[in-house]
Chains A and B, each alone.
Chain A
Amino acid sequence: ETGVTQSPTHLIKTRGQQVTLRCSSQSGHNTVSWYQQALGQGPQFIFQYYREEENGRGNFPPRFSGLQFPNYSSELNVNALELDDSALYLCASSLVGTTQETQYFGPGTRLLVL
Chain B
Amino acid sequence: DAKTTQPPSMDCAEGRAANLPCNHSTISGNEYVYWYRQIHSQGPQYIIHGLKNNETNEMASLIITEDRKSSTLILPHATLRDTAVYYCIVRVKKYNNNDMRFGAGTRLTVKP
Residues on A close to B: CB < 8 A? 2, 4, 31, 33, 35, 41-45, 48, 50, 55-56, 58, 88, 90, 92, 94, 96-97, 101-108, 110
1/0 per position for B80-96, CB-CB distance to A under 8 A? 00000101000001011
Residues on B close to A: CB < 8 A? 34, 36, 41-46, 49, 85, 87, 93, 95-105
Contact of A96 (CB < 8 Å), options: B42, B85, B98, B104: B98
**Chain B residues closer than 8 Å to A45, beta-carbon distance:** 99-101
Contact A106 B101 (CB under 8 A): no
Give the CA-CA distance A56 to B104 in the complex, in Å: 22
Give the CA-CA distance A41 to B93 in the complex, in Å: 24
Q: Which residue of B lies closest to A41 (CB)?
A: B104
Apart from A42-B85, A42-B103, A110-B41, what 4 extra A-B contacts exist at CB < 8 Å?
Answer: A50-B98, A104-B46, A107-B42, A108-B41
Count of A-B residue pairs with CB < 8 Å: 64
With A41-B104, A42-B87, A42-B105 as contacts: A101 and B98 at CB distance below 8 Å: yes
Contact A90 B44 (CB under 8 A): yes
Considering the complex of A and B, which 4 residue pairs feature the smallest CB-CB distances, nearest first?
A: A42-B102, A105-B43, A45-B99, A43-B102
Contact A107 B43 (CB under 8 A): yes
**Chain A residues closer than 8 Å to B95, beta-carbon distance:** 96-97
Contact B97 A103 (CB under 8 A): no
**Chain A residues closer than 8 Å to B105, beta-carbon distance:** 42
Give the CA-CA distance A43 to B87 in the complex, in Å: 10
Q: Which residue of A lies closest to B87 (CB)?
A: A42
**Chain A residues closer than 8 Å to B102, beta-carbon distance:** 35, 42-44
